[in-house]
Structure 1
Amino acid sequence: MSRLASFLALASCLSFVSSTTVAEIQGPAWQSPLAGQTVNNVTGVVTAKSSSGFYIAGEKSDDVRVSSGLLVYSTSSSVLSKVAVGDAISLSGRVSEFRSSSQPNYLFLTELTLPSNIMILSSNNTVTPVVLGKDRFPPTREFSALDVGAEGFLSAPNNSSRIEAANATLQPDKYGMDFWESLEGQLVTIPKATSLAFPNSYGEFWVHGDWPVTGKNKRGGLTITFGPDGIPDGNPEAILVGAPLDGTKNPMVVLGTGLGDITGVVTFLFGFYYVLPLTAPVVTSIPSSDIPATTLTSDLNDVCTITFGDYNVENLMPTSSHLPTIASHIVNYLRTPDILFIQEIQDNSGATSDGTVSANVTLATLVVSIAQLSNVVYNFTEIDPVDGQDGGQPGGNIRTAYLYRPEKLKLVPGSPVGGSLDNTEVKGFLGRPKLSHNPGRVDPNNTAWDASRKPLAAAWQNKFGVQFFTVNVHLSSKGGSSSVQGDARPPVNSPIEARTNQVSTVATFVKSLLFKDPLAKIIVSGDFNEYIQTRSVYKPLTSILTDIDEAAKVPEVERYSYVYDQNSQQLDHALISWGLRLRKVEFEHVHVNTWSPSLAARVSDHDPSVGRIRIC
């Protein structure tokens, strides 16, 4: 930090009033030891300005827990006009810990408010930023010491402790949140940044820099994985890039966009740690727009081999503008599998709440669109929900459904189609289970499914009569969850209790099939709205079924169907029974949406997947 020592010496001669350093204000813990106090003769070099204040760099502390940067908060034009970037200044103010009263799960931000007695000591000073990956290295495994439990930040119960209530001493060499907190207000450089997702609606985007990371996939993103200790790794080494402080605009990025060095100040906003760049980052590379189609194709002459696809088609109705693209994905990227597990099929009137519950026009329109592109004519089957009872977009009555190729498969005859509230039971005899309804809903009156999609079970057979069973699921969404970098630890994973009960209900149904036939061939697939790393949720199913990604030996870092915040993650899963795992199993994720060339070109927030199994 050039010329800083000389101006600090000058500042000490200006007044006999006691002085306070930036390091003393920040302290080694989450909150300032001087919060609520008025401090004088605080000295530092202005590193950046915004419409809500300016940042100063004080003398560097030898303690890595203590930041040497600080936000001076003011929206007063008379205050902001007094200083320029590069000015060495002295000022007084009140130390404050700010958090919006409406956001109790945010962390506090240490600020110097009500700035006064601002004196310019010198100008045109420079501050050398902390180069991340060279001067300091972000931890790559855990967010917080308070994420206790075998599942780390995914452990249940959630919200069992609070960072700000504990106000512990920071451990920046071990925990990601502590690391970013130890740099609060400081000027840093992210070298050779890589974007981890599309920008949000404000143009902000997540990145990692040229430093060691975990979970890196082929596209350049960071996938949620298990660490070597078995604790889920949510990639705390990533950071959000906010709006440039000079008023320029961030570039458009996608998963894997390469960028030049990004220099800016570290802060906490809207539930996350940010680097606010001094100016807009520069794009240096763009990932390929080529999206590979699945290699797992259907063979109509091989009656023992079945291909299946899974796709959340995001609120599909007959007039949806994205319906033709969904059809194109099924034809050109999924290669018209023998059976499709579909989620988020809306009724024929879409989001209009007019009492309509039938989705026959929605599904028929999709089938026709597929046929026009491929000459493959699917049959479909589904069960209408009770109006307004299954959650999702109001009026849409979303549900799960199957498309299937009748030349390859048919529903096992002899059982009626179930109604909205008919419970499907496993009948038959040992070695030959039979469903009471086909298709039928699984325990639809169980309170676990209140305001949520009910699973759709079905029994299928090929032309030789060889049978297998499917359950198409769409569990409760994560709405209401808190930030992974928020105050609540472990973060609120809402509603984890509902999803746990839903999985347990599905597992009970699967067990009843396996009781009749331990080698029954079963696929449970769909949108689980939960990471497989949240073992407490999946335990009832994973104790009797196998994650098909594991069975097919898909590399762990390539197991993702969704990108949110800093993580490539998997909400869509397929689990299979031992009767299928005994034979060859293949599975691929098809990244038609997470690899989309722009957010506008994406037609669903989920990627589809394709599997290939042998039933005989």
Structure 2
Amino acid sequence: MPSKRTARIGALTVAAVCSTVSAVVLTAPAHADTVHIHDIQGTTRTSPYAGQKVTDVAGIVTALRTYGSSRGFWIQDPTPDTDPATSEGVFVFTSSTPKVAVGDSVTVTGTVSEYVPGGASSGNQSLTEITKPTITVLSSGNAVPAPTVINSRSVPAAYAPAGDTAASGSINALTLEPKKYALDYYESLEGMNVQVADTRVVTATDPYSELWVTVKPHENVTRRGGTIYGAYTSQNTGRLQIQSLGSTADFPVANVGDKLAGTTAGPLDYNQFGGYTLVASQLGTLEKGDLKRETTRKQSRGELAVATYNVENLDPGDGTFAAHAAAIVNNLQSPDIVSLEEIQDNNGATDDGTVAADQTVTKLIDAIVAAGGPKYDWRSIDPVNDKDGGEPGGNIRQVFLFNPERVSFTDRAGGDSTTPVGVTKVHGKAQLTASPGRIDPANTAWTSSRKPLAGEFVFRGKTVFVIANHLNSKGGDQGLTAQYQPPARSSETQRHLQATAVNSFVTEILKAQKNADVLALGDMNDFEFSDTTKILEGDGELWSAIKSLPKSERYTYDYQGNQQVLDQILVSPSIRKGCDFDYDSVHVNSEFSDQISDHDPQVLRFRP
């Protein structure tokens, strides 16, 4: 059945989860304090009846959810009011399999609740529900209210109102303006039967049987069929998550650019994994596109090719080594240097003190050889156990692979997990005090996060400094559909400190040698337009080379219908000013349902 992530979380719902649904009552209801669904939903995001008992709320059952811990059903009033801000649908939370059928005319007596998916600390909006219900079936086989059509004309271009500063930026108490703001429009349909038609897939089907479509086919479209995310102030309003109320075995396995042809219809829900979601009782027919994995060009003899690739928690027990090797050899054309992120230790998530990753790396190198690639050499530094974040016990770290037939590594002793690497000036040239070495590992900026790995390489007699990064994730940031607008990005605080440390280290190299070739690359976990990137770039010490691409091609990741940049290669002025470089984000993963990593690799070719 659909995602196990539908489990209800948070103290706000403990009483509801533990309650039991009353048996269906077939007697006539008592008529006292009767309210309509639109009265319960009201004109704001929270119900004026929250916490109160309501009696004999009438509606037609439009859909049932019979799986997970969020079991219940949706009802909708077939005689709506004239206010577009008030929804005519609501979810009835039963906690066990509901004993009603689609088309039943019912009345429900129960308590109105505002359930926050993910808990109050998530910052998510709340979902208005009726809990602890007593249900009366009046008749069966009734026509279900026709779904409201969601399309490019109905969804406003503006995303959300600014939050109330007196309420910490919350939009909960603001009167909905569904003709002005997209989030208000979706909220005005919460719990109602809705439909979309002939929609393009903008995020591939994930392991939880979810995908994202857009109802605005021309909104920031990419040439491969996605939707680009280009600024905090330019949200893509046509994105909508699709789940299914049926068996996951029947859920379409779609890639970006595919199409859900015909009608997809069902109640509009709200969850912690994407906000507004059409939970489909009827799914459109999948029409496959012809999306192919990209292949970059081979570097010329005089070009140094440097790549970055997040291989997503790779450990010896994974079955993805051959696929990763094929991507490196065939799609990336065997770069001279590959900075790998998320290489786990030799026993993966087993938390027993193991920190060495030689078995993981050797297995990947052997797979690359088997795929027809070079016999890479490698350098890395094992982290202190359980100090670098990531999956507990996994001890992820960055690793340099390099092709010794094309490039050499300058080994200089002294680098370990806790000793900071420095910069010296020798014969007018910058030189690392240790190679490989870790940048400022005792700095609190790196608490529970990966420390950057710095190394010196030589290509055709010229030194190139490479800094492999994996900055802290966006975990803890509020979602785009949060009740706080604009949503808070709390993870930036640490990431900005990390970017400052990296920029400071690059500045040291450039002070020692103004024309030094420096690359800072990896999973920066932030956008090319972000303040994190601005801090990394500093006063021109670095520049993010992905900005050399057209805006519609700037993405390395696909999240909730937004194609966006997380992985970057930043270059020093000597590389940028020469204009003799070629950057490519090679789309082999992020757009595909059978991805082996959620990140696309990038490659930069230049002449040192």
Indicate the SS of the match to 2:253.
coil
Note if contact 1:378-1:406 (Cα within 8 Å) is conserved in structure 2.
yes
Displacement of 1:542 in angstroms is 4.8
Structure 2 match to 1:186: 192
Displacement of 1:501 in angstroms is 0.9
| Counterparts in 2 of 1:137 and 1:418: CA distance versus 1, 3 Å | same
Note if contact 1:48-1:56 (Cα within 8 Å) is conserved in structure 2.
no
Matched residue pairs, number?
569
What are the superposed Cα offsets for residues 189-248 of structure 1, whole Å, 9 maximum, x if unpaired?
A: 111122333434442322223x3553322332222212xxxx443434322222326998
Structure 2 match to 1:258: 259
Displacement of 1:447 in angstroms is 1.6
1:120-135 equivalences under 5 Å are 120=138, 124-125=142-143, 127-133=145-151
Structure 2 match to 1:607: 600
Which of the numbers 512, 522, 526 marks the counterpart of 1:526? 522
Which of the numbers 467, 470, 481 marks the counterpart of 2:466? 470
| Structure 1 residues not aligned, in runs of 5+ | 1-13, 149-158
Note if contact 1:308-1:338 (Cα within 8 Å) is conserved in structure 2.
yes
Structure 2 match to 1:24: 39
| Counterparts in 2 of 1:614 and 1:53: CA distance versus 1, 3 Å | same
Q: Which amino acid aligns with 1:57?
A: D
Displacement of 1:317 in angstroms is 3.5
Which of the numbers 513, 516, 519 marks the counterpart of 2:512? 516
| Counterparts in 2 of 1:420 and 1:80: CA distance versus 1, 3 Å | closer
Structure 1 match to 2:128: 110
Structure 1 match to 2:445: 448
Q: Which amino acid aligns with 1:472?
A: A
Per mean C-alpha deviation after superposition, the further-off stretch among 478-487 and 400-409 is 478-487
Per mean C-alpha deviation after superposition, the further-off stretch among 119-128 and 43-52 is 119-128
Structure 1 match to 2:499: 503
TM-score (norm 1): 0.83
Q: Which amino acid aligns with 2:397?
A: R
Indicate the SS of the match to 1:251.
coil
Note if contact 1:44-1:59 (Cα within 8 Å) is conserved in structure 2.
no
TM-score (norm 2): 0.84
Indicate the SS of the match to 2:309.
strand
Structure 2 match to 1:33: 48
Note if contact 1:69-1:185 (Cα within 8 Å) is conserved in structure 2.
yes
Indicate the SS of the match to 1:365.
helix
Q: Is 1:483 the equivalent of 2:491?
A: no
Q: Is 1:146 the equivalent of 2:151?
A: no
| Counterparts in 2 of 1:418 and 1:48: CA distance versus 1, 3 Å | closer
Note if contact 1:133-1:212 (Cα within 8 Å) is conserved in structure 2.
no
Report the Cα distance in structure 1 between the residues aligned to 2:135 and 2:341, rounded to whole angstroms. Answer: 62
Note if contact 1:343-1:399 (Cα within 8 Å) is conserved in structure 2.
yes
Structure 1 match to 2:377: 379
Note if contact 1:145-1:175 (Cα within 8 Å) is conserved in structure 2.
no
Which of the numbers 424, 438, 443 marks the counterpart of 2:435? 438
Q: Is 1:219 the equivalent of 2:195?
A: no
What are the superposed Cα offsets for residues 532-576 of structure 1, whole Å, 9 maximum, x if unpaired?
A: 3332564243542211011x3x22232222223332222111111
Structure 2 match to 1:172: 178
Q: Which amino acid aligns with 2:564?
A: Q
Report the Cα distance in structure 2 between the residues aligned to 1:375 and 1:15, rounded to whole angstroms. Answer: 77
What are the superposed Cα offsets for residues 503-530 of structure 1, whole Å, 9 maximum, x if unpaired?
A: 1100100111222333322111001122
Displacement of 1:133 in angstroms is 1.6
Displacement of 1:357 in angstroms is 3.3
Report the Cα distance in structure 1 between the residues aligned to 2:462 and 2:332, rounded to whole angstroms. Answer: 24
Structure 1 match to 2:290: 288
Indicate the SS of the match to 1:582.
helix
Structure 2 match to 1:56: 76
Which of the numbers 551, 558, 575 marks the counterpart of 1:556? 551
Report the Cα distance in structure 2 between the residues aligned to 1:420 and 1:72, rounded to whole angstroms. Answer: 54
Displacement of 1:381 in angstroms is 1.7
Note if contact 1:457-1:469 (Cα within 8 Å) is conserved in structure 2.
yes
What are the superposed Cα offsets for residues 87-121 of structure 1, whole Å, 9 maximum, x if unpaired?
A: 56666655443346955434222234566685748
| Counterparts in 2 of 1:126 and 1:424: CA distance versus 1, 3 Å | closer
Report the Cα distance in structure 1 between the residues aligned to 2:110 and 2:351, rounded to whole angstroms. Answer: 55
Report the Cα distance in structure 2 between the residues aligned to 1:353 and 1:126, rounded to whole angstroms. Answer: 53
Displacement of 1:73 in angstroms is 4.3
| Structure 2 residues not aligned, in runs of 5+ | 1-28, 67-71
Per mean C-alpha deviation after superposition, the further-off stretch among 320-329 and 60-69 is 60-69
Q: Which amino acid aligns with 1:541?
A: E
Which of the numbers 148, 158, 170 marks the counterpart of 1:162? 170
Structure 2 match to 1:205: 211
Note if contact 1:448-1:498 (Cα within 8 Å) is conserved in structure 2.
yes
1:537-616 equivalences under 5 Å are 538-544=534-540, 545-550=542-547, 552=548, 554-583=549-578, 584-596=580-592, 598-599=593-594, 602-615=595-608
The alignment-based identity, stated in percent, is 32
Which of the numbers 322, 325, 329 marks the counterpart of 1:324? 322
Report the Cα distance in structure 2 between the residues aligned to 1:326 and 1:108, rounded to whole angstroms. Answer: 41
| Counterparts in 2 of 1:62 and 1:459: CA distance versus 1, 3 Å | same
Q: Is 1:136 the equivalent of 2:129?
A: no
Indicate the SS of the match to 2:151.
coil
| Counterparts in 2 of 1:386 and 1:99: CA distance versus 1, 3 Å | closer
Indicate the SS of the match to 1:242.
strand
Q: Is 1:243 the equivalent of 2:236?
A: no
Which of the numbers 87, 105, 113 marks the counterpart of 1:67? 87
Note if contact 1:56-1:71 (Cα within 8 Å) is conserved in structure 2.
no
Indicate the SS of the match to 1:309.
strand
Note if contact 1:500-1:538 (Cα within 8 Å) is conserved in structure 2.
no
Report the Cα distance in structure 1 between the residues aligned to 2:111 and 2:348, rounded to whole angstroms. Answer: 54
Question: Root-mean-square deviation (CA), in Å?
Answer: 3.2
